[in-house]
């Protein structure tokens, strides 16, 4: 419960921020006249309802649900070791960092060589497709113009 609450809380909060600030098209032009409360009322104006705003509300509900689950999980595990960030999330981040360290980036000459190979294969594939298309077109013309 603690892990799910944490993930819902963080994910919902990030989604809320993204959707809220993506709808700030002319907030800076009207900030002085509207104020922040005016912007919030314009954001939730039913006349300007959009899919992004509905998704924002869903993300907000998920963030609140995540907060509730997280608080309930922390209260339930009061006697146990109760970290702020759940152990599963820490392990995932630690493992991800370890995998990133295993990445071997190619040098510039290898990148150029691989790019050349890809472009050559694209050219060969294009030539094969053109030849097969021409042969198929010739065959269709031959069959269509054949007199029985």
Q: What is the pLDDT of residues 85-138, one digit of tens each?
A: 777 888 899 999 999 999 998 999 999 999 999 999 999 999 999 999 999 999
User: Are residue 7 and residue 71 in the same domain, yes or no?
Assistant: yes
- Is 6 in contact with 68 (CB distance < 8 Å)? no
What is the token pair recorded at 112? 């150029």
**pTM for the whole structure:** 0.39
- Specify the pLDDT at position 23: 60
- Is 67 in contact with 9 (CB distance < 8 Å)? yes
User: Are residue 119 and residue 146 in the same domain, yes or no?
Assistant: yes
User: Are residue 53 and residue 121 in the same domain, yes or no?
Assistant: no
Domain extent, residue 143, equals 105-148
User: Are residue 121 and residue 91 in the same domain, yes or no?
Assistant: no
Mean pLDDT of the chain: 79
Give residues with Cβ within 8 angstroms of 98, minimum separation 6: none
Count of domains forming the chain:
2
User: Are residue 47 and residue 59 in the same domain, yes or no?
Assistant: yes
pLDDT in tens, 33-68: 555 556 666 666 777 666 767 777 777 788 888 888
Q: Which helix (H) or strand (E) holds 139?
A: helix 108-144
User: Are residue 83 and residue 111 in the same domain, yes or no?
Assistant: no
């Amino acid at each position: 419960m603690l892990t799910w609450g944490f993930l819902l809380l963080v994910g919902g909060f990030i989604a809320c921020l993204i959707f809220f600030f993506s709808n700030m098209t002319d907030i800076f032009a009207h900030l002085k006249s509207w104020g922040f409360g005016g912007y919030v009322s314009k954001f939730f104006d039913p006349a300007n309802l959009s899919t992004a705003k509905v998704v924002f509300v869903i993300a907000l509900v998920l963030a609140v649900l995540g907060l509730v689950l997280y608080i309930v999980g922390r209260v339930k595990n009061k006697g146990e070791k109760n970290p702020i960030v759940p152990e599963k999330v820490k392990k995932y981040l630690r493992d991800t960092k370890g995998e990133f360290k295993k990445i071997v980036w190619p040098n510039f000459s290898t990148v150029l060589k691989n790019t050349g190979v890809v472009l050559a294969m694209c050219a060969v594939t294009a030539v094969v497709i053109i030849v097969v298309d021409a042969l198929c077109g010739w065959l269709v013309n031959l069959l269509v113009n054949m007199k029985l």
